[in-house]
């Protein structure tokens, strides 16, 4: 999984990863926020959701301790990380600052 994860985050495009769990209430709040963000930014960002319960090894390697945890990558490097619900506006500002 780590190799395919690396492939996903390596490109030129900014990648936002949402580590979530089905049972997590705040994770459900992120869904419309991420949809809104995708509408606003289109191709400027690739959004990927990763279920921590289905990917325990990757979650452990990246030290994901709480959900939701959001990470932003550019060219294979982690640029930003935060746990908890983050607004579309805040995410948009961070992503645009990386362009």
Catalytic residues: 24, 27
* Structure-token match 């979530």, residue found: 20
Give 69's contacts (C-beta < 8 A, 6+ positions apart).
Answer: 18, 19, 81, 82, 83
Answer for the pair 36, 68: CB distance below 8 angstroms, yes or no.
no
C-alpha to C-alpha distances, 65 to 26, 37, 45, 56, 84, nearest whole angstrom = 14, 24, 24, 11, 11
Phi, psi at 46, each rounded to 5° = -110, 125
């Amino acid at each position: 999984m780590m190799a395919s994860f690396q492939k996903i985050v390596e490109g030129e495009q900014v990648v936002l990863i949402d580590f979530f769990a089905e049972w997590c209430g705040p994770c459900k709040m992120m869904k419309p926020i991420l949809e809104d963000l995708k509408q606003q930014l289109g191709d400027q960002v690739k959004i990927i959701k990763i279920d921590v319960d289905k990917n325990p090894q990757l979650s452990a390697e990246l030290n994901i301790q709480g959900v939701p945890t959001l990470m932003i990558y550019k060219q294979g490097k982690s640029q930003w990380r935060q746990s908890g619900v983050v607004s579309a506006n805040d995410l948009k500002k961070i992503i645009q600052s990386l362009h």
